[in-house]
Amino acid sequence: MENAITSEKPVAQDDKKGEPVIIVEHLKKNFGEKVVLSDFNLIVNKGESMVVMGRSGIGKTVLIKCIIGLLKPDGGTLKVFGKDISKITRRDLDLLRLNIGFVFQSSALYDSMTIRQNLEFPLRRQKIKPMKGDLNKLVRESLISVGLENTIDLMPSELSGGMRKRIGIARSLILKPEIVLYDEPTTGLDPITSKEIINLIMDLQHQSNTTSIIITHDVELAKQASNHIVFVMDGIAYMQGTYEELVKTEDPKVKPFFE
């Protein structure tokens, strides 16, 4: 394949997008003697929808957990909105996280809280808390955006897996973040529900012009929702390009994912 990029240096793929909001340079992350990310480089531009693919256990989720500060890198630099994650104070990291939504693979809803309370939780943690009327409005708007306003007083256990995924997305977007990180948003869902989640992600991306990083094994999600795909292999960003470019690759390490 001539157009896809195999490179260990950060690459900005879309000149039509805004300036970089995430810059990863020579990122390293180990767990004991196991090297997960060895020399990972990446640039994500404002408004870009980037999909990260690769085998299970290769470091995809580790990458986004480093980006949001849930894991501390063992080397390299990772800048979000121009701030080096490893060097800012805890207070500044908490403020930064208000502008980053994280959609967990399991949805990570609180089982003992209603859907309303789950969505209120990130709002109540802000230092400047919204008024009661504003809080109710934000919760309802978030539920409307994912088509689930009628679930507001239900418990998570009363919802299907796909509905819980939607609520997880709504909770991540309620603070109107500029960046949204999705960890396997279609895993464990049937094909119809997966398609609904893909359409939802695309609609939200279009409406809000958020910057998205989507961790997935779902080739259809990669095809529909990405401007740019990064394939992770051996601890690095092994290959980068559009879906159309990667699907044509003859590289034996990448080709099986698109067959």
* pLDDT by 10s per residue, the chain, length 259: 444 555 554 544 444 457 999 999 999 999 998 999 999 999 999 999 999 999 888 899 999 999 999 999 999 999 999 999 988 998 899 889 889 999 888 778 889 999 999 998 888 776 555 555 588 888 988 898 888 889 999 999 999 988 999 899 888 888 889 999 999 998 888 888 888 889 888 888 888 889 999 999 999 999 999 999 999 999 999 999 999 999 999 999 999 988 8
> What count of other Cβ atoms lies within 10 Å of the Cβ of residue 157?
8
Contacts of 187 (CB under 8 A, 6+ apart): 105, 216, 217, 218
Q: At 243, is the secondary structure helix, strand, or coil?
A: helix
Average pLDDT value over all residues in the chain = 87
DSSP 8-state symbol, 4? S
Kindly report, residue by residue over 152-164, the tens digit of the pLDDT: 999 999 999 889 9
Contacts of 37 (CB under 8 A, 6+ apart): 27, 28, 29, 59, 62, 63, 66, 73, 235, 236
Residue 126 is predicted with a pLDDT of 67
Kindly report, residue by residue over 48-86, the tens digit of the pLDDT: 999 999 988 889 999 999 999 999 999 999 999 999 998
Distance CA 85, CA 197 (A): 30
Residue 18 is predicted with a pLDDT of 73
Distance CA 255, CA 178 (A): 33
